[in-house]
Amino acid sequence: MMQNAPFGRVVCAMVTPFQADGSIDFKRLESFTDELITSGAQGLLVCGTTGEAPTLSEDERTAQIQCVCNAAASRVPVLANVGSNSTAASVAFAKRIAKLPVDGLMAVVPFYNKPPQEGIYQHFVHIAHASDKPLVLYNIPGRCGINMQAETTLRLAHDVDTIVAIKEASGNIEQIQTIIDNAPAGFSVYSGDDSLTFELAKRGAAGVISTIANIAPARMAHMLVLCEQERFDHAYREHTALLPLMKGLFETANPILVKAALHLLGRSVGGLHLPLIEATPEQKQRLAALLQECGFALQ
């Protein structure tokens, strides 16, 4: 049985639309928020990695989160990423964002400074105590350089009532299964990898915080409905139909190819902030072929 999904089964990790000068295109952000909701996204994550949050100032992130909340108009839950590798900075920003009409906060395992497990535990406890908003943990060793072990995740889940979920992108099925099996009631595991969503949903996870949902939220939602109904053969067919694109979008650093794919589909979201760069012509050519293979019509 799949876990409860407090923020929807398919939470789209949104890209950030930029204008030609690199500033946030708030008008496009409003319309893109509406497009995602009407095309099947059940929740929205603002200012994640896919949204290029590391290249945005706190004022820009605050304005972006406010804009998405306004555009979503309570139709779906909105999560805001507040985490960094500084506990003090994360706590301060969590307090700031908790004043906005967000439905929850997300924070990543501290990156670069590689704290021990007790340091990770204390980091999240301090962020959780900064507000009364539900908090989602985010474990992604490939970006952070360190893995939050299942024991630490479960300790947080049991010790802190407002820690309600984790976005697990370790790729370690055994670790994730341990969390699913031993989590307290009300704590949910979201896949942090689109390509592992089917496997984790089959094992009881709540859903996915998804990159491909910028492009195909309804198809991801349908696959998870089939999992919820335990129609796993049908769900597997839906999964395999999208799998080439799920993998292809990560040929290079995210969100380079997600933005390129949106442009190929006629949905302009502007460029990228350095150090990310535009997709090469060869990457765009391969991406166009993948989109067509997966049933998308190019514009």
Q: Which of 121, 167, 190, 259 is catalytic?
A: 167
Q: How far apart are CA 179 and CA 160, in angstroms?
A: 15
C-beta separation of 205 from 190 below 8 A = yes
229 by Cβ neighbours in 10 Å (0-12 / 13-18 / 19+) ranks as exposed
Which candidate, 98, 100, 117, places its Cα nearest to that of 109? Answer: 117
- Alpha-carbon torsion 171, 226, 14, 279, what sign? positive
Active site residue 167: yes
Collapse the DSSP code of 14 into the 3-class scheme (helix H, G, I; strand E, B; otherwise coil) and give the result.
coil
Q: How far apart are CA 248 and CA 257, in angstroms?
A: 8
Contacts of 224 by beta carbon, 8 Å cutoff, 6+ apart? 2, 9, 10, 197, 201, 207, 208, 235
DSSP conformation class of 100: S
Active site residue 99: no
Q: How far apart are CA 277 and CA 274, in angstroms?
A: 6
Return the amino acid letter for 251: E
Q: Which of 121, 133, 138, 259 is catalytic?
A: 138
Cβ count within 10 A of residue 185: 6
The set of catalytic residues is: 138, 167
